[in-house]
């Protein structure tokens, strides 16, 4: 199994000049292109029992068929978007209010930083959506139950629509796309290469989708840009169903697992959570801007507003982990280290 380790980021600050005129032009990120294959191996399950075994999943399947929407015709794509405007309050950019922020050239650098910060966040949503597209198509195959197969098939379609919408927004409106964060890539590879179907669910439906749902909710509440708000609003309706699918499917699965089997799940949750947490330090944005990356990452890691933001991302994951009976002492410790354990008493559906 090929495991992709997170790429170490260059922490060398670029040579900077005190004279404004000598500063090099800010380059646009190079959009990812081409395709890439990774080897996967897991058991594909036929099921010869077509009876309804799980009425709750059938109900979700019915709901999913009724709530399909067309991203091309439903969304107001003719909205004008200025990618360099303050579409999301500047205060959510990690270095906001620091001396580094004060030194930004407000005409040349600040608009680019806004564009890159938006692009970076949405690019990783786009790549995450593709990961979800691949993972749910695997779930269709791997899960041994017809109700889950039928539902998962509708989710594959949902994810295709999400890929389409984010790609179009990035391409036409933000006009910049970043490659996938190495942290997210590592996590997606692990989920796709995992043999055990419950781990695919756990990784994608509970962890990645749980975080996406919280992050999309954050955008829906803070963005001033109407098209993006509409996109995330539509996608969130789908994602809420996807998380529900994960919770319903995994309910009871961990009740009589052996300590050894459970340990694998615990380690997976803690490692995946760490990868997702690190993904929001925006290394690639600082590099692209020619800013001192190590310093910016440190600010993103420690600033109070960013800690709040990153911890908010776990507001669905922690209560759902608990609902599945997986908030064991080891997982509890991992969440505590990330500063997100306090969400254990939250209502995941809120
Ligand atoms: Fe999605
Ligand atoms: Fe999803």
Q: Please name which of 214, 215, 217 lies closest in space to residue 233, comparing C-alpha atoms.
A: 217
Tens-binned pLDDT, residue by residue, of the chain (350 aa): 334 444 433 333 444 444 555 677 899 999 999 999 999 999 999 999 999 999 999 999 999 999 999 999 999 999 999 999 999 999 989 999 999 999 999 999 999 999 999 999 999 999 999 999 999 999 999 999 999 999 999 999 999 999 999 999 999 999 999 999 999 999 999 999 999 989 998 999 899 988 888 889 999 999 999 999 999 999 999 998 998 999 898 888 899 899 999 999 999 999 999 888 877 889 999 999 999 999 999 999 888 878 888 888 899 899 999 999 999 999 999 999 998 999 998 876 54
Q: How far apart are CA 214 and CA 261, in angstroms?
A: 29
CA of 211 from ligand 2 middle (Å) equals: 10
For the whole prediction, is pTM greater than 0.85?
yes
| First vs last C-alpha separation in the chain | 39
Q: Which CATH architecture has domain 53-67+102-345?
A: Orthogonal Bundle (1.10)
- Ligand 1 centroid vs 320 CA: distance in angstroms? 18
The angle, 0 to 180 degrees and rounded to 10, between the axes of the packed helices 304-312 and 209-222 is 120
Nearest ligand to residue 243 Cα: 2
Q: Which ligand is nearest to the CA of 201?
A: 2
Looking at the chain, how many residues does it have? 350
Whether the CB-CB separation of 319 and 210 falls below 8 Å is answered with no
Please give the distance, rounded to the nearest whole angstrom, from the Cα atom of residue 127 to the centre of ligand 1: 10
How remote is the CA of residue 200 from the centroid of ligand 1, in Å?
15
Cβ atoms of 313 and 213 closer than 8 Å:
no
The Å distance, Cα 18 to ligand 1 centre, comes to: 45
Backbone φ and ψ for 33, nearest 5 degrees, come out as -150, 175
Say how many Å lie between the CA of residue 240 and the centre of ligand 1. 10
Helix axis angle for 209-222 and 109-142, nearest 10°, is: 140
The Cα 252–Cα 104 span in angstroms is 53
- Please, is 238 exposed, middle or buried when counting C-beta atoms within 10 Å of its C-beta (0-12, 13-18, 19+)? buried
239 C-alpha to center of ligand 1: Å? 6
As to burial, measured by CB atoms within 10 angstroms (0-12 exposed, 13-18 middle, 19+ buried), residue 103 is exposed
Q: What is the CA(159)–ligand 1 centre distance, in A?
A: 4
204 alpha carbon, closest ligand: 2
């Amino acid at each position: 199994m090929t495991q992709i380790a997170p790429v170490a980021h260059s922490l060398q600050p670029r040579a900077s000049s005190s004279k404004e005129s000598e500063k090099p032009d800010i380059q646009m990120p190079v959009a990812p292109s081409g395709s890439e294959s990774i080897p996967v191996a897991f058991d594909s399950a036929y099921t010869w029992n077509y009876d309804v075994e799980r009425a709750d999943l059938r109900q979700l399947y019915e709901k999913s068929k009724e709530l399909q929407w067309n991203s091309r015709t439903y969304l107001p794509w003719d909205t004008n978007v200025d990618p360099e405007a303050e579409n999301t309050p500047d205060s959510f950019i990690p270095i906001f209010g620091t001396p580094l922020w004060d030194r930004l050239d407000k005409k040349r650098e600040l608009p680019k930083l806004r564009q890159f910060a938006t692009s970076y966040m949405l690019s990783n949503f786009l790549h995450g959506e593709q990961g979800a597209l691949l993972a749910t198509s695997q779930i269709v195959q791997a899960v041994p139950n017809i109700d889950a197969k039928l539902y998962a098939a509708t989710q594959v379609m949902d994810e295709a629509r999400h890929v389409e919408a984010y790609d179009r927004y990035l391409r036409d409106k933000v006009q910049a796309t970043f490659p996938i964060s190495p942290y997210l890539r590592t996590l997606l590879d692990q989920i796709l290469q995992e043999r055990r179907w419950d781990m695919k669910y756990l990784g994608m439906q509970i962890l990645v989708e749980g975080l996406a749902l919280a992050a999309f909710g954050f955008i829906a509440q803070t963005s001033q840009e109407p098209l993006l708000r509409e996109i995330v609003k539509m996608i969130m309706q789908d994602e809420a169903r996807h998380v529900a699918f994960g919770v319903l499917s995994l309910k009871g699965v961990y009740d009589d697992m052996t300590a050894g089997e459970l340990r694998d799940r615990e380690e997976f949750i803690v490692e995946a959570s760490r990868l997702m947490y690190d993904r929001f330090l925006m290394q690639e944005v600082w590099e692209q801007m020619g800013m001192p990356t190590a310093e910016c990452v440190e600010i993103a890691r420690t600033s109070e507003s960013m800690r709040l933001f990153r911890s908010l991302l776990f507001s669905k994951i922690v209560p759902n982990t608990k609902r599945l009976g997986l908030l064991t002492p080891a997982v509890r410790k991992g969440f505590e280290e990330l500063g997100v354990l306090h969400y254990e008493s939250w209502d995941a559906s809120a």
